Amino acid sequence: MTTNLSTLTNGLRVVTHEMPHLETVSLGAWVGVGARHDPAPENGIAHFLEHMAFKGTAQRSAQDIAEEIEGVGGDLNAATSLETTAYYARVLKGDEGTALEILADILQNSSFDAEELRREKDVILQEIAASRDCPDDVVYDLAQEAAYPGQPLGRTILGTPETVTAITADGLRSYLDSRYISPSMVLSAAGGVEHGKVVQLAEDLFAGLGCVECGPSNGEKACYRGGVTASARPYEQCHVLIGFEGPAYGKPGYFASQVLSGLLGGGMSSRLFQEAREKRGLCYSVYSSVWGLSDTGVMTVHAATGPELADELLDVLSDEIRRLAEDGPCCAEVQRAKAQLKAGLMMGLESSGARAEQMARQLICHGRLIDKNELIAKVDAVESEDVRQLLETMIRGEPTVAVVGAGARSQDHAQRVSRSFRAAAA
């Protein structure tokens, strides 16, 4: 199994991981722009463009695109996140040329037909409505808004019905021309594939990509604020979330934040699972998660329970966070969280899709590929006191507390929980 990286004449990076024992190939194009780069009046444009890429080019109708990739048994999908947009396919070995050709076409020759644009707005309005019917999405969207108020990171990836409705074909075209340029993009493939063949195909297929940054810069720096947000909804459960600012992905403390999230709420042996679910039976799922962006990061804990138990759940989550910041984790907890992170890395290397994505993200975020052993060494280097200090620093900042669902009375309690962190920090 070998990893190879080449840079095409136009600056596009092509990375492959040859896994000769596999009969399938995962490949895709990752673009280093996402929803946080949306201009405010066009909130949702990165995601809208991702949809419109499937709606036809000069050569292919929307139906042609779908039929061509699915005709060889492949599938093609795309996803927009805060800082990246990805277009990826999985096909049988030997069909990578078909997938690459379609990817190259939809990323360079979209026609943005007016009728298709109008219909796709309706599809996205339904996607927004579906997201509003999903309690998990609602609580994270509200928390993000409270954490980064009035900023790109505080807005949703999908946009609002108003901003989506306002997006035009010209807007999409100019976004594409200025953003989808070769130095910001990575073509990544893993599985039963040969590096030389991918490079050769890509050199031709992606020759039309612009290579000069000609749009606005990548926008405003994030300024985490935090705050309390609550929304009464007709749910059976009440969702509660507590978050703090964490390290950006290149910053010291980033790997400690991953260990912290793991031992706090990453698995069945984690503190929150043991206390909230196993000892108290308060909830079915309770998770901690941490995401790092280029200039900020957030660690959140989230769980849901009956409205009459929401205050107790909020107290349990905040008490556990505080206790961990005071006493620090024991060595066995740190060891377990590290073992899980390292095993997760190994498991990811065995999936062609996960591997293709990992390589592309490393190139976009860090400008280089990071060896497995370097990642493992960084995880191994995290010590108990690093985790404690990181959390202590985190909770000195303003918390983000979100309460959504049945029992809006928890808003007052959310305020108290928020104040209790601020009082301890003062």
Query: What residues from 100 to 119 belong to the interface with a copy of itself (CB under 8 A)?
Result: 118-119
Judged by CB under 8 A, the residue of 39, 40, 114, 123 near a copy of itself is 123
Question: Shortest approach of a copy of itself to residue 182 CB, angstroms?
Answer: 27
How many residues are given for the chain? 426
Which of positions 81-100 make contact with a copy of itself (CB under 8 A)? 90-92
Which of positions 345-404 make contact with a copy of itself (CB under 8 A)? 346-347, 349-352
Question: Shortest approach of a copy of itself to residue 237 CB, angstroms?
Answer: 5
Closer to a copy of itself at the Cβ: 199 or 263?
263
Which of positions 137-196 make contact with a copy of itself (CB under 8 A)? none
Closer to a copy of itself at the Cβ: 57 or 182?
57
> What angle (nearest 5°) sits at the alpha carbon of residue 142, between those of residues 140 and 146?
115
Which of positions 396-425 make contact with a copy of itself (CB under 8 A)? 405
- The answer to whether 23 contacts a copy of itself (rule: CB under 8 A) is yes
Judged by CB under 8 A, the residue of 7, 9, 75, 425 near a copy of itself is 75
Question: Shortest approach of a copy of itself to residue 351 CB, angstroms?
Answer: 7
Question: Shortest approach of a copy of itself to residue 16 CB, angstroms?
Answer: 17
Task: With CB under 8 A as the rule, give the number of residues binding a copy of itself.
Answer: 74
Judged by CB under 8 A, the residue of 40, 130, 214, 331 near a copy of itself is 130
Question: Shortest approach of a copy of itself to residue 315 CB, angstroms?
Answer: 17
Closer to a copy of itself at the Cβ: 234 or 252?
234
Question: Shortest approach of a copy of itself to residue 247 CB, angstroms?
Answer: 23
Which of positions 310-339 make contact with a copy of itself (CB under 8 A)? 332, 335-336, 339
193 with 366: CB under 8 angstroms? Answer: no
90 with 108: CB under 8 angstroms? Answer: no
Go through 296-335 and write b for each residue having 16 or more CB atoms within 10 A of its CB, e for each that does not.
bbbbbbbbbbbbebbbebbebbbebbbebbeebbeeebbe
Binding mask 241-280 for a copy of itself (x = CB under 8 A): --------------------------xxx---xx--xxxx
DSSP secondary structure string for all residues of 299-345: EEEEEEE-GGGHHHHHHHHHHHHHHHHHH---HHHHHHHHHHHHHHH
Q: Give the count of beta carbons closer than 10 Å to the beta carbon of residue 145.
A: 19
Q: Return phi, psi of residue 90, to 5°.
A: -130, 130
Query: What are 242's strand-pairing partners?
Result: 301, 401
Closer to a copy of itself at the Cβ: 124 or 359?
124
Q: Residue 136: enclosing H or E segment and its boundaries? A: helix 135-147
DSSP secondary structure string for all residues of 345-376: HHHHHTSHHHHHHHHHHHHHHHSS---HHHHH
Q: 3-class secondary structure for 5-64? A: EEECCCCCEEEEEECCCCCEEEEEEEECCCHHHCCHHHCCHHHHHHHHCCCEECCCEHHH
Judged by CB under 8 A, the residue of 219, 227, 344, 397 near a copy of itself is 344
Query: Up-side HSE of residue 394: CA atoms within 13 Å toward CB?
Result: 33
Question: Shortest approach of a copy of itself to residue 295 CB, angstroms?
Answer: 31
Task: Looking at 206-266, list the stretches that DSSP marks H as alpha helix, in order from N- to C-terminal side.
Answer: 254-265
Token pair, residue 133, equals 């019917």
Catalytic positions, please? 50
Q: Single out the segment in contact with a copy of itself by CB under 8 A; choices: 102-110, 126-134, 176-184, 198-206.
A: 126-134
